[in-house]
Amino acid sequence: MSRPAAKLAEPRVRLRMPARSVRLRLTALYGGLFLLSGAGLLALTYVLVRHATAGASVTRGTGSAVTPSGARAMTATSHAVDLHQLLVQSAIALAVMAVASAALGWVVAGRVLAPVRTITARTRRISDDSLHERLALQGPDDEVKELADTIDALLERLEAAFEAQRRFVANAAHELRTPMAGLRASLDVAMAKPGPLPPHIETLEDRLRAGFAQVDRLLESFLALARAQQGRFADACTLSLDDIASAAIARQGDAISRLNLTVEEDACPEGVVEGSETLLSRMVENVIENAIDHNHPDGWIHVTASVGGRFANLAVENGGAVLAQDDVDALAMPFRRLGADRTGSEKGAGLGLSIVASIAEAHGGKLELRARADGGLRVAIELPLASPARTEVPA
């Protein structure tokens, strides 16, 4: 099967000026204020010295044996030389102190902004699965401490909101199982009565059982989504992406055979990750199911595992209709499907790829969706490699 090679656009080289940081602006402000103050002080000193030396020179010149005109000339010359030396030396001293003030201003600005950098670094590390962390900035009760305390209060409210949402999803999924089981049992009792059933009753039974099956899939999806968002894995272990993908393909063997799909696998034994076996298996199976459900008869699926840097990658490509990238970008959102087939269809509840994204993020990875130019979809999952001390995959 031939695939057109993608043409890569040549990157444009743009010259960018260095970013003007707050520290640099504060340093420039400190240095500018010092230069203005120093220049004003130098001008004032120059004027005062000029008047003072002029009066003293006239007084000294009147008691001399030299003629008055010669004395005034000598006094004026000496006075001008002294003022010029004073001006030059003061300017040199001002230049030296300007450089020193700039260096001192850079250090002082760094000390002033150090708490702000601490707040920025700690806030950047906090994500939706670590909202329990706090900045807990120590120091005097000033504006910076007040900012840190405000951010801590915001994180506390966000943690409460996220936790309430996760509990609601999990509890709702659990609670809905009980009435669903009762409805199914009632249907079984009603259909178990002796005697032939009218055709419309049999048709109703089929529709009800199909609806029950769809609700079961939806509840399972809710539970998987809640477990992924909690980020706590009771069954954490090291797993090979190759083994997970092969097992998912094997479980979907009947669906693959019905559509007569060609499945190609590119293995990578080094792609070992660490996490929940249940969630990671569900993640890969959802991707394989999506590639089957949105494929053409006699189509193809290509599964590629690879390793790049500190990450293991799994890419699943499938043929199909030509898709718009804007529509594809929204597929990772809950209850979003392509075109008119949005929710409530027999293909699923629109939670498959949103569950994949949540599980990948819970394991420190990410999901990338891209529409293929000649039709179909490319789903790429990136997960951190397992630590070297735990790369032994269980049999």
Domain ranges for the chain? 22-125, 162-228, 233-390
pLDDT (average), residues 199-227: 76
**pLDDT value, residue 246:** 93
CB 242 within 8 A of CB 271: yes
pLDDT (average), residues 199-218: 79
19-23, 71-75, 169-173, 379-383: range with lowest mean pLDDT: 71-75
Cα end-to-end distance, the chain, whole Å: 35
55-59, 130-134, 209-213: range with lowest mean pLDDT: 55-59
**pLDDT value, residue 86:** 75
SS3 for the chain is CCCCCCCCCCCCCCCCCCCCCHHHHHHHHHHHHHHHHHHHHHHHHHHHHHHHHHHHHHHHHCCCCCCHHHHHHHHHHHHHHHHHHHHHHHHHHHHHHHHHHHHHHHHHHHHHHHHHHHHHHHHHHCCCCCCCCCCCCCCCCCHHHHHHHHHHHHHHHHHHHHHHHHHHHHHHHHHHHHHHHHHHHHHHHHHCCCCCCCHHHHHHHHHHHHHHHHHHHHHHHHHHHHHHHHCCCCCEEEEEHHHHHHHHHHHCHHHHHHHCCEEEEECCCCCEEEEEHHHHHHHHHHHHHHHHHCCCCCCEEEEEEEEECCEEEEEEEECCCCCCHHHHHHHHCCCCCCCCCCCCECCECCCHHHHHHHHHHHCCCEEEEEECCCCCEEEEEEEEECCHHHCCCCC
Residue 381 has pLDDT above 90, yes or no: yes
With pLDDT > 70 as the criterion, what percentage of the chain qualifies? 75
With pLDDT > 90 as the criterion, what percentage of the chain qualifies? 17
Is pTM, for the whole model, over 0.75? no
Q: Is it true that 162-228 and 233-390 share their CATH fold?
A: no
- Tell me which CATH homologous superfamily contains domain 233-390: Histidine kinase-like ATPase, C-terminal domain (3.30.565.10)
Domain range 162-228, CATH class? mainly alpha
Residue 304 has pLDDT above 60, yes or no: yes
Residue 69 has pLDDT above 80, yes or no: no
**pLDDT value, residue 5:** 42
Q: What is the pLDDT of residues 6-32, one digit of tens each?
A: 444 444 444 444 456 777 888 888 888
pLDDT (average), residues 224-248: 78
**Maximum C-alpha span of the chain:** 150
